[in-house]
């Protein structure tokens, strides 16, 4: 089974409030799905739980990657298995250049030495797609990066690490339209039979440039409705009120 499956997932803050109330979602490898929903719906919490954030506990359900439960795996093991979490990136790594950090991350993922020629050719290709200058490689990771540079850099790392499944939370926030287009170009370049992505977003804007195979709407910690890209358009036009009513009547 080539898919990332979230199966009846219930979760709460450790010793605290319940946030997820039975999330069901299947992301087949080769597809891009969007999760939309109003503020506070639990979208970011879902992303963090997939990443293995220890501040939440799963009370019921499972998360399976290609048929294997990842719940007992540490975050780095999940990454080795091919999961990439854009938002989980280190805030700043002083003293480590961007390229070196990425090389070490790739080495950790592969569990062995990285072929440097291959590595640099992947880097070049990613920079070209992202319309970016090489000077970004020698800067310390995220040190003094603008918000847009950080987002673009996350996408560059994703392109080089070639994950099987990527989760991106609010990748569009704080980007101007040109940066948004470039980020979308990177994600679209990754699309193919060996790559699946979950785009978590509050707004429809990003989905004009990365057209998803499916859109899921989360309200109060559950997916209440799913559909094609037209669902995102409807949300943009009509807001979330009608889905909230759907959530209550379900
Ligand atoms: P979204 O990303 O959809 O806006 P979040 O997942 O960020 O929603 O948050 C869902 C709800 O859970 C919010 O009410 C938020 O305040 C609460 N929440 C999430 N994580 C924590 C936490 N670590 N501590 C306290 N409240 C939290
Ligand atoms: Mg929020
Ligand atoms: Mg959020």
Domains of the chain as residue ranges with CATH: 3-249 (3.40.50.300)
- pLDDT for 250 equals 62
- pLDDT for 195 equals 98
- pLDDT for 89 equals 64
- pLDDT for 100 equals 93
51: left (phi over 0), alpha (psi -120 to 50) or beta: alpha
Give every residue of the chain whose pLDDT is below 70, as ranges.
Answer: 88-90, 249-250
Q: Give the other-Cβ count within 10 Å of 116's Cβ.
A: 9
- pLDDT for 166 equals 96
Atom of ligand 1 nearest to the CA of 46: 6
Ligand 1 pocket list (CB less than 6 A): 13, 19, 37, 39-45, 55
Q: How far is the CA of 44 from the centre of ligand 2 (A)?
A: 7
Atom of ligand 1 nearest to the CA of 200: 2
Q: How far apart are CA 45 and CA 39, in angstroms?
A: 11
ipTM of the complex: 0.96
- pLDDT for 176 equals 86
- pLDDT for 144 equals 87
């Amino acid at each position: 089974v080539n898919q990332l499956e979230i199966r009846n997932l219930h979760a709460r803050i450790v010793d605290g409030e319940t946030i997820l109330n039975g999330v069901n979602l299947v992301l087949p490898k080769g597809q891009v799905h969007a999760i939309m929903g109003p503020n506070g719906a639990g979208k970011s919490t879902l992303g963090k739980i997939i990443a293995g954030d220890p501040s939440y506990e799963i009370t019921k359900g499972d998360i399976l990657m290609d048929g294997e439960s990842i719940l007992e795996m540490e975050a780095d093991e999940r990454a080795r298995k091919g999961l990439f979490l854009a938002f989980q990136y280190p805030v700043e790594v002083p003293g480590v250049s961007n390229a070196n950090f990425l090389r070490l991350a790739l080495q950790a993922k592969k569990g062995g030495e990285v072929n440097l020629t291959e590595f640099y050719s992947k880097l070049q290709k990613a920079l070209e797609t992202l319309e970016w200058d090489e000077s970004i490689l020698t800067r310390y990771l995220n040190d003094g990066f603008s918000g847009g540079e950080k987002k673009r850099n996350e996408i560059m790392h994703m392109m080089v690490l070639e994950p099987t499944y990527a989760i991106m939370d609010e990748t569009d926030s704080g980007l101007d339209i040109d940066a948004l287009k470039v980020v979308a170009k990177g994600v679209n370049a990754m699309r193919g039979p060996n790559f699946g992505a979950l785009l978590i977003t509050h707004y429809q804007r990003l989905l004009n440039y990365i057209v998803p195979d499916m859109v899921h709407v989360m309200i109060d910690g559950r997916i209440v409705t799913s559909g094609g890209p037209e669902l995102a358009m409807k949300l943009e036009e009509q807001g979330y009120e009608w889905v909230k009513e759907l959530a209550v009547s379900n």
